[in-house]
Chains A and B, each alone.
Chain A
Amino acid sequence: MSTQLYEVVAKGRVGSAATDCLDIDGVMKGKENVPIVNSEISKIMDAFGKSRFESIYLRVGDVEVNLKKTDPVSSSLADRTGFTPKNSLDSQHVKTVSIKSPLMGLIRLAPASNEPPFVEVGATVDPDKVVALVDVLGTLSEVTALYKGRITKILCEADQLVEFQQDLFEIEISD
């Protein structure tokens, strides 16, 4: 049997505890010295946001994540967790979707290390705008925005391994 991978303490109303745990389990495959990256933390937040837990404490190696919902039924969850529900419509009917990685590889957010990034938060992009490159043993493939809109969040860390279909950017679609 493997050693304990990570520590999770979750409290709150448990509707479907097994599913909630499984969601976090599916996100978190880091052992203590497998580094946890920002995109994984946002996935954990995502899972926590969707769960009916009220608080969660998570430790992976040096990284500790402490999340709490002060008002579990409030709609301002995003303020406290940094989590924005995807594909949700707010009052202005703005649709937020994510740009996913078409390949597994190292994500390059700039054309070269000494150059500015392809996009930054707030940038407006067209569907064919290159927003990142995926590097597979030196072979670079372009990631395009696929939507016309505004980049609202960068969900990945430069030069980290990203999975196939991992969320890379959040984009607010404009018609």
Chain B
Amino acid sequence: MNKISRVLVANRGEIAVRIIQACQSLGLETVAVVSNADRNSMAAHMADRSICIGPPSATESYLKIDTLVAAALGSGCDAIHPGYGFRAESPELADVARSHGVAFVGPQAETMRRMANKLQAREEAKELGIPLLPGSELMTNNDEAFEVANAIGWPLLIKAAAGGGGKGMKLVFAPEQLRDALSAAGTEALAAFGDGSLYLERFVPKAHHVEVQILGDSHGNVVHLGERDCSVQRRYQKLIEESPATILSPRLREELREAALVIGRNLSYESAGTVEFLVDPEAQKFYFLEVNARIQVEHPVTELVTGIDLVQAQLRIASGEPLWFSQEDVTFTGHAIECRINAEDPNNNFYPSPGRITKWNPPVGEGIRLDSHCFEGYVVPPFYDSMIGKLIVHDQDRTQTMDRLQRALDDFEVEGITTTMPFLNSLISNPDFQSGDISTSWLENLLKAGALN
């Protein structure tokens, strides 16, 4: 491992800004790669240098592995931080970078390969004795699917083996829907991942999505930084995340964290990663879902309750530093909630609302953090995802945190584009969310019932 001194930021938006800030705190220089649409982005201005790598289309810019590595070499960078999305979990980027002597700020390529295939991840978890939802092997034909589906029980989820972000995922309630759903999921998975392989998994209607943050170094140390509850989802995309998860009994919390460590140690996990579980609060049981081998969008809630900067940690680990704290040193203070603010119109089917931000007046105060790349006058381009920022709030307990978050959302003035802020505020004030009586289906059900209008 080499010492890192200059980092290529291979991403855009808020995470590019976040990475640059972490680098600056560590005294590292930064080079931002930008598409033609992002030449005037906040990241481009903050970085020590910016390099335009291609046209707006991500496939011609942020996704081009050779271009990213050539930009790193041509600008004297000794590391690449991929952020999340784009090439964050690409073993190919890690391999090409490392073969040119450039460190990849993330897990080993081998770890990413093993965890990218969800069926292999399930198999590895099973061998480690981690509980899994009843599910199938790879589906090869429809007749077999019916047989396996009946054994698993209904409703069930069809999932893509190469999956992520909800693509290729279909909820099936009854046998007569299975054939069409399999075909639709296969087509979607093939389009999204170039791999149409599917498997089946039992669907738990009242489940919570709970994930454990892990951090490992190149010396074999793996610690956990507690868990996050990310059950508020729309189309399998998380909208609100919090830490700690309040539905876990102390025993279940310990078991969940330990299971994540077992998986992390088995992978000799390096860098920041997330082990995702489904929790059935009534039965107080948990089931392994998958491992996300990257820094996640929702990492700030963990940072606020632990006081540990995860992006700085990634950079230090990538330069070969052993973890500078032990599990016993990790303490948890208060409660944190993050909501993802999108330039979308909830009253018009969540259509994106790109355009110029004519007013940008974010809330400030104790316990309020905003991770964003936006500013007054910034034009939200139509080419990328619509997230314009993450508002993260920290306070002593869940009730106080919810209050503080609502006030922060009320105080946040944005004009020129339509945002999901009023919608998020209505979710947080909803009695179900206030009491914690939610599940991964909660928001979809509310939207179907038109209860938010």
Contact = CB atoms under 8 A, between A and B. Distances in A.
A110 B430 CA distance: 67
B47 A161 contact: no
B24 A165 contact: no
B54 interface: yes
A157 interface: no
B39 interface: yes
A2 B49 contact: no
A59 B110 CA distance: 45
A31 B70 contact: no
B66 A137 contact: yes
A103 B52 CA distance: 9
A41 to B, nearest CB: 15
A72 interface: no
B93 to A, nearest CB: 12
Interface string A133-175: 0011101000000000000000000001101111000000000
A10 B54 CA distance: 32
A137 B69 contact: yes
B39 A26 contact: yes
Q: Helix, strand, loop or mixed for chain B's interface? A: mixed
Contact of A2 (B24, B55, B96): B24
B49 A104 contact: no
A34 B53 contact: no
Nearest to B20: A2
Interface stretch (B71-79, B191-199, B231-239, B400-408): B71-79
A163 B49 contact: no
A106 B70 contact: yes
Nearest to A106: B74
Interface string B40-79: 1000111111111111000001000011011101111000
Interface of B: 24, 29, 31, 36, 39-40, 44-55, 61, 66-67, 69-71, 73-76, 96, 100
15 contacts: A2-B46, A2-B48, A26-B39, A30-B48, A31-B49, A34-B48, A103-B67, A106-B74, A136-B66, A137-B73, A160-B74, A161-B71, A161-B74, A164-B36, A164-B52
Given A34-B48, A137-B69, A165-B52, 12 more contacts: A5-B48, A29-B48, A30-B48, A31-B49, A103-B67, A161-B71, A161-B74, A163-B53, A164-B52, A164-B53, A164-B61, A165-B36
